[in-house]
């Protein structure tokens, strides 16, 4: 029984770590995407102004 308790606690910790890492990756992807959109907007506006 002791092993089972430790195992479930380890599993809970791992899912939490995975969620934190996944959320981190998600934020990175979102910020990269926003940066790309911003770059496109800037290119678009410079093309219009010239």
pLDDT at 18: 82
**What pTM does this model have?**
0.52
| CB within 8 Å of 18: residues ≥ 6 apart | none
CA angle 28, 34, 36 (to 5 degrees): 105
pLDDT at 13: 84
Instruction: Report the alpha-carbon distance of residue 24 to residue 26 in Å, rounded.
Output: 5
Among all chains, which residue has been given the structure tokens 């959320």?
A: 23
pLDDT at 1: 56
The DSSP 8-state label assigned to residue 26 in this structure reads H
pLDDT tens string, the chain, 50 residues long: the values are 566 677 788 888 888 888 888 889 999 999 999 999 999 999 888 888 77
């Amino acid at each position: 029984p002791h092993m089972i308790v430790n195992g479930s606690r380890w599993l809970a910790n791992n899912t939490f770590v995975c969620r934190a890492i996944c959320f981190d990756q998600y934020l990175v992807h979102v910020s990269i995407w926003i940066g790309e959109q911003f770059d496109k907007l800037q290119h678009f506006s410079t093309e219009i102004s010239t």
